[in-house]
Amino acid sequence: MSLKDKLPGALGFGTAPLGNMFRAIPEEEAQATVHAAWDAGVRYFDTAPFYGSGLSEIRLGAALAQYNRDDYVLSSKVGRVILDEIEDTASRDLGEKSGVFEHGRPNKIVNDYSADATLRSIEDSLKRLQTDRLDIVWIHDIAQDFYGDQWLEYFNQARTGAFKVLTRLREEGVIKGWGLGVNKVEPCELTLDLTEAQPDGFLLAGRYTLLDHDRALQRLMESALAQNVEIVVGGPYSSGILAGGAHFEYQQASPAIINKVEQIKRIAAAHGVSIKAAALQFSLANPAVAAVIPGASRPERIAEDVAALNEVIPAAFWQALRDSKLISERAPLPIIGA
């Protein structure tokens, strides 16, 4: 059974923003956003302990508590254990992502991908989410952007710990699937090369978008598809820059990125295309992609995502992007025969 068979549709909801990503979100706004997603037909929700030190899970669990658990698919992540101990959120060493959740809870975050920590992380997530099970578990951020030159050490800790635990839980029917939840292509490549690891998929954030897809095309997408390891695309708006925001890769966008976005916007305007629609449909056009999970922190954004998914985009728009060398010649496009 493929990952597509385990997911209830092409559009899910990435709940990192509910952990007070970039800003302090009022509780009622967070709850309204989850309910807006539900009302729009979204039935796949992804979260993680890391998002606001458990805040995203707590908020998501509170919102989903009123719905039948059998009616939706839920994924969270392992690799970080959240303690009762308090720390200064502004002083955390999060590699390239420092400051992203400085408005989240101040509970201390411990990086641990061992077998025991994996089981504890799942148990803690279930309590915060007010549920009895996770459908999919992603191993979170074993990559260069968080751990620099030490990333392989964390990867190997996960390989001997989390990989084995999650494989056993899948075999026992406790979870439906597992994989990596990362912002880099290399950990996914390495996992595919392992003989003992058989993940169901990867949650790849920011690496298969309109703005950044070359490396994934060259190094991952075809081999993942060949092994029936499908991709959930996280961060399809590249941290917000493709949805009217100012962030790319969780930081202020550089002049070069802003210039590229402006080029795409000009072509989109000339063809009457919304850039959100282009972003979502581009990611989903690759046959290795099972779903896309944009994040949102305001209810009205959900309706925009659903509309973007259903918008009709003329073939001439995609051709114009190719002609302008704004997208790869190798990228599958949502055009018959492209």
Question: Which of 44, 46, 176, 305 is flagged as catalytic?
Answer: 46
Do the beta carbons of residue 334 and residue 313 sit within 8 Å? Answer: yes
Q: At what angle do helices 275-285 and 255-270 cross, to 10 degrees?
A: 100
Number of neighbouring beta carbons within 10 Å of residue 327: 20
Question: Which of 6, 77, 176, 276 is flagged as catalytic?
Answer: 77
Closest CA to 298 of 11, 29, 28: 29
Q: Give the Cα separation of 134 and 197 in Å (integer).
A: 20
72 has catalytic annotation:
no
Longest dimension (CA), the chain: 56
CA dist list (Å): 187 to 79, 133, 144, 153, 204: 14, 26, 9, 12, 10
Checking phi first, is residue 18 left (phi over 0); if not, alpha (psi -120 to 50) or beta? alpha
Q: Give the Cα separation of 133 and 130 in Å (integer).
A: 9
CA dist list (Å): 151 to 66, 158, 239: 40, 11, 22
**CA-based Rg of the chain, rounded to a whole angstrom?**
19
Do the beta carbons of residue 276 and residue 236 sit within 8 Å? Answer: no
The one-character DSSP state at 8 is S
Question: Which of 44, 51, 72, 250 is flagged as catalytic?
Answer: 51
Tokens 């698919």 belong to which residue? 73
325 has catalytic annotation:
no
DSSP assignments along 172-206, one per residue: TTS-SEEEEEES-SHHHHHHHT-SS---SEEEEES
Residue 153 host element (H or E): helix 151-160
Q: Please state the φ and ψ torsions of residue 97, each to the nearest 5 degrees.
A: -105, 20
46 has catalytic annotation:
yes
Q: Give the Cα separation of 119 and 73 in Å (integer).
A: 20
Q: At what angle do helices 115-129 and 162-171 cross, to 10 degrees?
A: 60
Residues with catalytic function = 46, 51, 77
